[in-house]
Amino acid sequence: MESTMPDFREVPFDARLERVLFGPEEIADRIREMGTSITRDFGGQPLTVVTILQGGALFMADLIREIRLPLKTATVSVASYQGTESSGKVNFLEKSLPELDGRHILLLDDILDSGRTLNAIRRRFFEDSRPLSIRTAVLLSKRIERVEPIEPDYVGFEVGDEFVVGYGLDYNGEYRNLPLIGTLRREFIR
């Protein structure tokens, strides 16, 4: 197979990382704390946890197991990133929304950057459905000035203005399976 990428069979996986920001245990501990807060804040009310694919898949899988409430899950797919740059446009990849009417919604994303994605989805949910409420939770929040302001109800960790991968976050489709969050070495970014 033709490829400009280095042969990773000859490089230990972690050699592609520049810096590890959060390791597996740190992530697990923080998600446990977030689950505890969510459980407490929702006061026994049932909720629907909606995650944004694909990046938010691992976050949802781990977070819902730390929430002690009756809940349903759903997913939405959007795409805005190409490589390490946001295209600035949020495209919904499916025609219909999950069932949200009469439900408290907890909308999840892997990382909050410009704010466009969460805002676009929240807007669409309120326009096309009748949820009782929509709260938001992100595993990571970039410490930058948002293009579209939004204050998530739950934030796992803050990060600087750099491109991160791992724990669901990809670079051109890869690295989602890293059990940690880190930055890539320059030579592995085309």
* Helix (H), strand (E) at residue 49: strand 47-53
Residues 37, 53, 81, 124: which binds ligand 5GP (CB under 6 A)? 81
Hey, what are 21's tokens?
A: 């920001």
The answer to the question of residue 114 lying near ligand 5GP (CB under 6 A) is yes
Nearest distance, CB of residue 39 and ligand 5GP, angstroms: 24
Hey, what are 162's tokens?
A: 């750099």
Nearest distance, CB of residue 40 and ligand 5GP, angstroms: 26
- Whole-angstrom Cα distance, residue 162 to residue 117? 18
Largest CA distance in the chain: 55
- Whole-angstrom Cα distance, residue 156 to residue 139? 4
27 binds, among Mg ion, ligand 5GP, none (CB under 5 to 8 A by kind): none
Scan residues 36-75 and list those touching Mg ion (CB under 5 A). 55
In contact, 48 and 105? CB cutoff 8 Å: yes
Q: Does the annotation count 170 as an active-site position?
A: no
The answer to the question of residue 136 lying near ligand 5GP (CB under 6 A) is no
Taking contact as CB under 6 A, which single stretch among the options 11-19, 26-34, 67-75, 78-86 is the one that binds ligand 5GP?
Answer: 78-86
Residues 27, 48, 50, 117: which binds ligand 5GP (CB under 6 A)? 117
- Where in 67-119 does DSSP place strands (E)? 71-82, 85-92, 104-112
In contact, 109 and 51? CB cutoff 8 Å: yes
User: Pattern 39-58, binding to ligand 5GP, x per CB under 6 A?
Assistant: -------------x--x---
In contact, 77 and 94? CB cutoff 8 Å: yes
The answer to the question of residue 174 lying near ligand 5GP (CB under 6 A) is no
Binding interface with Mg ion (CB under 5 A): 55
| Catalytic residue numbers, as ranges | 113
